[in-house]
């Protein structure tokens, strides 16, 4: 069996068991591996076209039957020129494949996390090959040899965390943003004060927010987190939607968690719900057309705010570079404030082990 044919078979066997992000992540190393296991370079096709044909069509079970003619021509050429799966028994070929999945298109080494993830994916592919009796043994390096080049750390870079004054300035700039500023301000404040993952925050409904009465002595609110809608791209979902709805990360089906919200967030969310005239079944944070708040809008607003507020040398640094740094800042602050790790882990939706390692 050719490697290409086997790789397609593997994708089809796993497709229904995987979420959109996992499907996309598998397609990337399989693309690099397949190109590395060609008998000859495809000189009659542009390299970018070959990569796209493999990543977006060959290793996408839903799209492959509808591939356009030019893509079909490329994939037929790849199938004819793909080495057999037995090529994995050649140590030089194995090294060649590992170099290809460890390297970016510009020749630079990929980030440690990417290299580790790609190798983990290939390891699962090899186990499948052994189970199918296509290979006799796993050809990938084992033990220290397999991890020496992909050492990673789970720990958050403390330089990426936001100082309260920095956060306040960024949020104020976002709030005064002419286009959707107040709506986005409420979204970012929720990340900063309660620490949900961005894909969890965009999935929240109005009824998931428990607000105290305006005249109550206790002005803490409570958020119910129960769903995540990560943005994976419509070509990787079964529904054709850009977002994919799923249960909470690392949790049992239907599991929920509640998180307390500071009085400052209570004021922001109460005003947000009033200004937007939201009803209980509505999404709490909506895009301009009323649908799910798009990741591109979120990232663009956050980057613009950082650039406008932070000094140039801070903007170029890792301080608050990612939207996710709001969550990391909150979890770190909870721990620094002396809240027991078990409680913080429960609010964050992590295990205590992962929380403390991060």
pLDDT bracket for residue 230 (50, 70, 90): confident
Give the C-alpha separation, 254 to 248, whole Å: 8
Give the C-alpha separation, 293 to 230, whole Å: 11
Determine the pLDDT at residue 254. Answer: 72
Contact 199, 230 (CB under 8 A): yes
Mean pLDDT (whole number) for 36-40: 94
pTM over 0.85: no
Give the C-alpha separation, 252 to 255, whole Å: 6
Distances in whole angstroms, Cα of residue 30 to Cα of each of 51, 60, 97: 10, 11, 10
Contact 148, 183 (CB under 8 A): no
Mean pLDDT (whole number) for 173-191: 94
- The more confidently predicted of residues 314 and 144 is 314
For 205, phi then psi, to 5°, come to -105, 165
Determine the pLDDT at residue 145. Answer: 46
**Cα end-to-end distance, the chain, whole Å:** 43
Return the minimum-mean-pLDDT range out of 107-116, 117-126, 176-185, 196-205: 107-116
Give the C-alpha separation, 292 to 290, whole Å: 7
Query: What would the DSSP string read from start to end of 187-251?
Result: HHHHHHHH---HHHHTT-BGGGEEPPPTT-S---EEEEE--B--B--GGGSSSS-SB--BPPTTS
Give the C-alpha separation, 150 to 115, whole Å: 6
Determine the pLDDT at residue 158. Answer: 92
Q: Is 312 helix (H, G, I), strand (E, B) or coil?
A: helix
Average pLDDT, the chain: 91
pLDDT bracket for residue 153 (50, 70, 90): low
Contact 11, 61 (CB under 8 A): yes
Mean pLDDT (whole number) for 4-29: 94
pLDDT at 139 over 80: yes
Mean pLDDT (whole number) for 298-326: 96
């Amino acid at each position: 069996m050719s490697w290409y044919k086997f790789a397609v078979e593997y994708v089809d066997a796993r497709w229904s068991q995987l979420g959109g992000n996992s499907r996309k992540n598998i397609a990337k190393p399989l693309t690099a591996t397949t190109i590395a296991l060609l008998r000859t370079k495809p000189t009659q096709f542009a390299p970018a076209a070959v990569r796209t044909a493999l990543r977006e069509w060959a290793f996408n079970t839903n799209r492959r039957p509808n591939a356009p003619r030019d893509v079909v021509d490329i994939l037929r050429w790849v199938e004819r020129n793909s080495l057999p799966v037995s090529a994995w028994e050649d140590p030089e070929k194995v090294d060649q494949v590992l170099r290809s999945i460890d390297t970016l298109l510009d020749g630079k080494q990929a980030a440690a996390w990417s290299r580790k993830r790609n190798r983990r994916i290939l390891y699962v592919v090899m186990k499948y090959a052994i189970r199918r009796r296509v290979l006799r043994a796993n050809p990938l390096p084992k033990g220290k040899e397999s991890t020496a080049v992909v050492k990673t750390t789970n720990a958050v870079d403390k330089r990426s965390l936001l100082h309260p004054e920095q956060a306040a300035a960024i949020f104020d700039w976002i709030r005064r943003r002419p286009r959707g500023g107040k709506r986005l301000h409420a979204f970012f404040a929720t990340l900063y004060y309660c620490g949900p993952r961005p894909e969890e925050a965009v999935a929240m409904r109005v009824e998931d927010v428990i607000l105290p009465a305006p005249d109550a002595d206790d002005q803490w609110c409570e958020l119910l987190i129960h769903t995540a809608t990560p943005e994976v791209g419509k070509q990787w979902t079964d529904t054709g939607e850009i977002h994919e709805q799923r249960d909470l990360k690392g949790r049992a089906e239907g599991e929920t968690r509640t998180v307390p919200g500071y009085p400052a967030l209570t004021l922001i969310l109460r005003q947000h719900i009033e200004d937007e005239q939201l009803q209980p079944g509505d999404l709490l944070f909506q895009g301009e057309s009323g649908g799910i708040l798009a990741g591109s809008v979120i990232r663009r607003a956050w980057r613009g705010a950082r650039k406008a507020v932070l000094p140039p040398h801070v903007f170029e640094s890792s301080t608050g570079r990612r939207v996710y740094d709001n969550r990391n800042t909150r979890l770190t602050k909870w721990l620094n404030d002396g809240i027991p790790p078990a409680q913080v882990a429960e609010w964050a939706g992590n295990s205590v082990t992962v929380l403390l390692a991060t």
